[in-house]
Structure 1
Amino acid sequence: MPSETPVPAPERRGTASAVGVLVVTAGVLAALIAAALTTLSAGASYALLGLPDPGPITKYGLPVVRVLAESGAVVCIGSLLLAAFGIPAKRSGALAADGYAAVRTAGWAAAVWCLGAALMVPFIAADATGRPVSDVLSAEVLFGLVDALEEAKAWALTALFAFMVALVCRVVLSWGWTVVTFGLGLAGLFPVIATGHSASGGAHDIATNSLLFHLFGAVIWVGGLVALLAHAARGGAHLPLVARRFSLVALVCWAAMALSGVINSLVRVSPEQLFTSTYGVLLVLKTVGLVALGVFGFFQRRSVVQRLDDGAGRSALLRLGAGEVLVMFATIGIAVALGRTPPPDGAKEVPGRTELLIGYPLDEPPTFLRLLFDGRFDLVYGTLALTLAALYLVGVHRLRKRGDAWPVGRTIAWLCGCATILVATSSGIGKYAPAVFSVHMGQHMLMSMLAPVFLVMAGPTSLALRVFKPAGKSQPPGPREWLLAFVHSPVTRLLTNPIVALALFVGSFYALYFTGLFDVALTEHWAHLAMNAHFLLVGYIFYWPVIGIDPAPRPLPSLGKVGLVFASMPFHAFFGIALMMSQTVIGASFYRGLDLPWMTDLLADQRLGGGLAWASGEVPLVVVMLALLIQWSRADSRAARRIDRKADADGDADLAAYNEMLKQLSDKDTPRRS
């Protein structure tokens, strides 16, 4: 890597201060834009809801406070991203000086995020009731409104997440805990995603999933750029490497935002209303700004990165980044105003009861053909399945391109696992699962007991370790080192402990369905996403040490693998039998609320689901035992070939030594017998 020209300390301090002023200026610009655009739709919003005008402080203060909260979230998550995956950590696992500076910046930004989220709670309560914010500041009134308003609860939970991130950033010193803190920051975005326009009305499943990609892409993109500029302003080390890594992340985020933005807009606005409604005009302005930033920013940044490799381009990066940050924050202001604007009337038909609860109507009962072909693409897990399949095939192609072999059976296993996820979430099974318990149980079995079996037999970690080039001793750690650190981390070792894995795998059934947790989760779309993630991850953790191709952190002997599989069978059988014998319908209020005319006997459907859970436990057992037999056979064959090669090389020295030992024992024993 070319040597970088050192930046004098006074210039670093001055440039870093300029970046801070830039962020504050951009935030003020976003707040002004949000407040100004709110005037276009605020009156219509209150009139539509039949609420009085709450006054200018509530009306214009809410978008300003939201910009404050989102600006803090952007800078916090972007700085943590830079510290975790941009700035190389030390070989010992401790953060470098630049990484520690980024974490400290994230801590202050998290404090701003927490303050803005906390202020959003009374503003949301005042706005939802059409009252001045001063009328809801008493504890009794505020707590009562928060208990009744989901959006206020979401912002209160966000403030708690931001507070925890701010505390952790004060003490974190290692790379591993920085990654954990970054994940905690991302989790703080979920509560707000689960509320608002996208979480209500028809097609809210598609709208919420697309907003998930959109918001995560925006936060990582904008926050990563701010963090990159701060790193360049500090004269940080490895600037070309950090810029190249961010350039790739920015491209992925732009693609995710572009696709998810189009999908989300089509759910809420018909094409002819894009230029005839306030909501549509704001949507067009936001889309134009983001597309222009993505196209021009990528190509310009690529040329700047090339100049950084030659030891120059730092000033050009700062100038280009400053303009991009201003436009990005202006787009944030437009997005805040867009969130305050109700979708136009008549954009879609008035949704029915079933569509309001699960996002789409279900007019016909499930049949075998409908479960297979009457699908509804899941933007989260359908995209995940296709992406995982594509990445695996790219990795295999790279290995073969450089002359390395990779077993075809592993590729087939991986594609079967991805296909199982796709069928479980995006076919008719995924469509009917939120409304029919038996179909949900079939989806559960596919996600937890079949897809993981195929995935662990594909050896994805081994493939990735062979594809990624190891960093040299003098080079900063890269993806290969990150992956190894994760595989050998204390968390991974704990989760793959046989007792812990068994408890998670079989205990999840009882904890979810027999404690009332499932009844609560049925009404929330994000809970369905979380359940599927839990099923898939817990299944992978259980089957990894049993039949996984990748070496597990805690390898098991052959008998231990068989014992672990057989130990889980009684629990699955008892769970299925308990469901079939139960006289209480799980989730009865939700399923009755759907009012599906063809679903008349909920208890019979639950017994069918219990039968599926009981019977489907045998299928993975057959696959697991077959895989174990094949692995043992291949291990014996490899051992035999290794012994034969050794014998050919040393003239069968081991056998000769063994015969000599027997001869000596016989010679010693002959006088004794005489």
Structure 2
Amino acid sequence: MAIGIRPAASVVLVAAALLSLVWAYVHGGGSEPGLLDKSGPLVLWGLPVAKLCFNAAAAGTIGALALGAYAIPSRGPAFARVVRFAGRAAVLWVVSAAALCVLGFHAVANTAPFSAGSGALLVSFLVAPGPGRTAAASVLMAAVVVVLCFSIRSRREAFATALVAVAGLVPPVLSSHAAGGVDHADSTVSLALHVAAAAVWMGGLLTLFVLRRTLTDVGLGTVVRRYSTLALASFMVLAVSGLLSAWAAIGSLGQLASPYGSIVLAKTAALVVLGAFGAVQRRAAIARLHRDPGRGTRPFAMLVVLELVVMAAASGLAAALGRTSPPTGASSASSASVLPGPGIREAVTRWELDPLWTLLCGFAVVLYLAGVRRLRHSGERWPVRRTGLWLLGIAVLFTVTNGGLHVYQAELLSVHVLTQMLLTAVIPLLLVPAAPLTLAELTIRPETGGTPSAGGFIRNIVRPLLNAAAAKPVIPALVLAATLLAFYYSPLLEYSARTQPGYGLMTLVALSSGCLFTAVLTRPLGPSHPKDRAARFSVLAGTAVLYAVYGQALQAQAPVLGQPWETAAGNPWPASWAATPETGGQFLLILAAVSLAALAVVVLFRSREERRSEPAQAAADKLSVRNGNRPRVR
């Protein structure tokens, strides 16, 4: 070949991205200037092109950092090359962010570039609250990433810098079309997850392609295998978040025939093709790289080029989609819906998918079943009871965070309390006995080549924390009390009910504190089990008193606590038992009693098992002493 594969691939990638951008921009109507538009064609076409460059540079930065933090040992020249690639991409990110900032100003101000007095107006635009300040924040965060990239020396620093880089994608998301939608919070979260996953996937693959010949010292096959895990996770996030954000913008299947809907369909087709390429890569390309690295590199590179071409086309579509208005009428139809009065039927039949918890529940099911499958392939058995408990617990978690309770918890204090108590007291009773940490320790491969592993995180961080909490069971009870105090007697109460970040924080904290409390109290009793049993029953009694106090306080103070709900509620329903604020205290007392009784039964069962095993173990110890052996340490 007269021309190397890398320059030829670069030309093809740029052509694919620009051609798809032009088609989508013209087809979606974004290329048509308004009747009073004075900014000119440079601004009209420069904005989507700058957005395309912004996305590509951010993806190159984040993907390279994710690859360095997860798949490449920090000691060696390969890590330095990957970090250097991330730094160069970050420089392009700053330039494209600045261009996007300037062009965005001229589009908002409706002035041509370099017009008289535009400089002073630009400064005012960047300082004033609104899109100008958001654009300036995007430039500053990209510049921070540049500085951090050229000072990275370890995987931890690469991971921290990757988090900062992902945060740098948030300001453009806040100023996108999602911010103006009816479901602003959910669609914004969906879009943020979407762009972050796309950056990890596309940027990591681009980094592998550019540096493939310089990764031989760490094994290209090993790096690609570890990257494929990131790619698979990114694919799942892209599919779910893209579906949710597209549905929030379109609103009905009939709107797929609109220009906006046809661009969404084109992006969907690109994602399906990329999924097929990913399957070929995982099944054939990686195995060939391990089997014959010399001959497997070129077919792998050709497959990557095809993937990158499709990704470039999808990126062009995404850049044009950001400048295309959603179908008219979709948001108005959504806003016209009025919630009916609360009841069991509404709690079961109404759904409002939360993008974050939909993904987390999906990952929880897939990873757990994959661990069970790997364990069985190794010849060991995993109790079906545990798998059933895990699937049931995740099903309940998905229903709570995406079903009718999720819809009504922002409208009714009683439903908000019910949601929090299900997360704290009920769902952990299903998830903890499924022993996900034990399954992970048995199935996750150990670290290779100095690269990090989830198994190492569990052994070195999670297990020591659990052991420390188990030594003093009162600690989880105090964490539980602090959680209730924070979320009911602080501004977090309304924040957690009415905002997407607050709801996600409340869900995570409530579920984590409940799982910690349940895990500590249901662990096997220690060597001095009578004392351990007494300590656990004391904690259970103290927690019962705690719940009783909180439940009575909620019922007494419900009119005051529920006032923000009654003021902001757009659906004034007739008075009913489920809609009254005082019901929240009753929900708390009932669920607390059920969960604490279940935990008490588990502690009694553990104690009875220990007493039954004592005589047999004592006999075994005597026999060991007679045979000259030391008794077994229990």
Task: Report the CA distance between 1:542 and its aligned residue.
Answer: 4.2
- Asked if 1:42 corresponds to 2:25, the answer is no
1:257 aligned residue = 238
In structure 2, do the counterparts of structure 1 residues 119 and 145 end up closer, same or farther at CA, with 3 Å as the change threshold?
A: farther
Q: Could you tell me the TM-score, scaled by structure 2's length?
A: 0.81
- In 2: Cα distance, 1:636 partner to 1:20 partner: 74
Task: Report the CA distance between 1:570 and its aligned residue.
Answer: 5.1
Task: Report the CA distance between 1:440 and its aligned residue.
Answer: 1.6
Q: Aligned residues: percent identity?
A: 26
1:417 aligned residue = 393
Task: Report the CA distance between 1:77 and its aligned residue.
Answer: 1.9
1:79 aligned residue = 64
Counterpart among 217, 228, 241 of residue 247 in structure 1 = 228
- Asked if 1:506 corresponds to 2:481, the answer is yes
In structure 2, do the counterparts of structure 1 residues 471 and 511 end up closer, same or farther at CA, with 3 Å as the change threshold?
A: closer
**What is the 5 A alignment of 1:452-601?**
452-470=428-446, 480-481=455-456, 483-487=458-462, 504-520=479-495, 522-548=497-523, 561-562=536-537, 565=540, 568=543, 571-582=546-557, 585-586=560-561, 592-598=567-573
1:616 aligned residue = 591
- Asked if 1:628 corresponds to 2:614, the answer is no
Q: Is the CA contact (8 Å cut-off) linking 1:247 and 1:302 kept in structure 2?
A: no
- Asked if 1:406 corresponds to 2:382, the answer is yes
**SS at 1:466 equivalent:** helix
- In 2: Cα distance, 1:507 partner to 1:247 partner: 41
**What is the 5 A alignment of 1:134-173?**
134=118, 137-146=121-130, 149=131, 162=142, 165-173=145-153
Counterpart among 398, 405, 408 of residue 432 in structure 1 = 408
**What is the 5 A alignment of 1:1-20?**
none
2:209 aligned residue = 229
Task: Report the CA distance between 1:520 and its aligned residue.
Answer: 4.4
Name the aligned partner's letter for residue 63 of structure 1. P
Task: Report the CA distance between 1:337 and its aligned residue.
Answer: 0.7
Task: Report the CA distance between 1:519 and its aligned residue.
Answer: 3.5
Q: Is the CA contact (8 Å cut-off) linking 2:70 and 2:451 kept in structure 1?
A: no
2:420 aligned residue = 444
- In 1: Cα distance, 2:357 partner to 2:194 partner: 16
Q: Is the CA contact (8 Å cut-off) linking 2:62 and 2:199 kept in structure 1?
A: yes
Task: Report the CA distance between 1:226 and its aligned residue.
Answer: 1.2
In structure 2, do the counterparts of structure 1 residues 119 and 638 end up closer, same or farther at CA, with 3 Å as the change threshold?
A: farther
**SS at 1:351 equivalent:** helix
- Asked if 1:365 corresponds to 2:341, the answer is yes
Write out per-residue CA displacement over residues 2-29 of structure 1, whole angstroms, 9 at most, x where no aligned residue: xxxxxxxxxxxx99xx869967985697
- In 1: Cα distance, 2:619 partner to 2:374 partner: 33
Task: Report the CA distance between 1:239 and its aligned residue.
Answer: 0.8
In structure 2, do the counterparts of structure 1 residues 463 and 634 end up closer, same or farther at CA, with 3 Å as the change threshold?
A: farther
Q: Is the CA contact (8 Å cut-off) linking 1:125 and 1:136 kept in structure 2?
A: no
Q: Is the CA contact (8 Å cut-off) linking 2:105 and 2:125 kept in structure 1?
A: no
- Asked if 1:175 corresponds to 2:155, the answer is yes
Q: Is the CA contact (8 Å cut-off) linking 2:270 and 2:314 kept in structure 1?
A: yes
Write out per-residue CA displacement over residues 39-67 of structure 1, whole angstroms, 9 at most, x where no aligned residue: 552366857xxx74444444333323322
Q: Is the CA contact (8 Å cut-off) linking 1:221 and 1:249 kept in structure 2?
A: yes
Task: Report the CA distance between 1:559 and its aligned residue.
Answer: 5.3
1:384 aligned residue = 360
Task: Report the CA distance between 1:496 and its aligned residue.
Answer: 11
1:63 aligned residue = 48
Moved more, 430-439 or 136-145: 136-145
- Asked if 1:334 corresponds to 2:317, the answer is yes
Counterpart among 320, 324, 328 of residue 303 in structure 2 = 320
Moved more, 593-602 or 508-517: 593-602
Q: Is the CA contact (8 Å cut-off) linking 1:382 and 1:421 kept in structure 2?
A: no
Name the aligned partner's letter for residue 41 of structure 1. G
Task: Report the CA distance between 1:69 and its aligned residue.
Answer: 2.7
Write out per-residue CA displacement over residues 287-344 of structure 1, whole angstroms, 9 at most, x where no aligned residue: 3333333324542674433332212222333343234324422321220111110022
In structure 2, do the counterparts of structure 1 residues 181 and 38 end up closer, same or farther at CA, with 3 Å as the change threshold?
A: same
Q: Is the CA contact (8 Å cut-off) linking 1:396 and 1:463 kept in structure 2?
A: yes
- In 1: Cα distance, 2:370 partner to 2:59 partner: 32
In structure 2, do the counterparts of structure 1 residues 58 and 137 end up closer, same or farther at CA, with 3 Å as the change threshold?
A: farther
1:291 aligned residue = 272
Counterpart among 311, 319, 340 of residue 293 in structure 2 = 311
Give the length in aligned residue pairs: 616
- Asked if 1:607 corresponds to 2:582, the answer is yes
Q: Is the CA contact (8 Å cut-off) linking 2:481 and 2:546 kept in structure 1?
A: yes
1:102 aligned residue = 82
- In 1: Cα distance, 2:136 partner to 2:497 partner: 22
Counterpart among 599, 620, 627 of residue 645 in structure 1 = 620
Moved more, 62-71 or 567-576: 567-576
Q: Is the CA contact (8 Å cut-off) linking 1:19 and 1:233 kept in structure 2?
A: no
- In 2: Cα distance, 1:62 partner to 1:250 partner: 29
In structure 2, do the counterparts of structure 1 residues 297 and 430 end up closer, same or farther at CA, with 3 Å as the change threshold?
A: closer
Task: Report the CA distance between 1:598 and its aligned residue.
Answer: 0.8
Q: Is the CA contact (8 Å cut-off) linking 1:201 and 1:351 kept in structure 2?
A: no
- In 2: Cα distance, 1:632 partner to 1:165 partner: 55
Name the aligned partner's letter for residue 326 of structure 2. P
**SS at 1:350 equivalent:** helix
- In 2: Cα distance, 1:588 partner to 1:339 partner: 39
Higher RCO by CA contacts (8 Å cutoff, separation 6 or greater): 2
**SS at 1:443 equivalent:** helix
**SS at 1:582 equivalent:** helix
**SS at 1:627 equivalent:** helix
Write out per-residue CA displacement over residues 470-506 of structure 1, whole angstroms, 9 at most, x where no aligned residue: 468x897655345434536899979999787556533
- In 1: Cα distance, 2:136 partner to 2:580 partner: 38
In structure 2, do the counterparts of structure 1 residues 79 and 538 end up closer, same or farther at CA, with 3 Å as the change threshold?
A: farther
- In 2: Cα distance, 1:258 partner to 1:231 partner: 28
Counterpart among 259, 265, 270 of residue 278 in structure 1 = 259
Q: Is the CA contact (8 Å cut-off) linking 2:63 and 2:204 kept in structure 1?
A: yes
- In 1: Cα distance, 2:466 partner to 2:96 partner: 33
Q: Is the CA contact (8 Å cut-off) linking 1:27 and 1:67 kept in structure 2?
A: no
- In 2: Cα distance, 1:543 partner to 1:527 partner: 24
Name the aligned partner's letter for residue 221 of structure 1. W
**SS at 1:530 equivalent:** helix
- In 2: Cα distance, 1:542 partner to 1:613 partner: 17
Task: Report the CA distance between 1:228 and its aligned residue.
Answer: 1.6
Task: Report the CA distance between 1:209 and its aligned residue.
Answer: 5.9
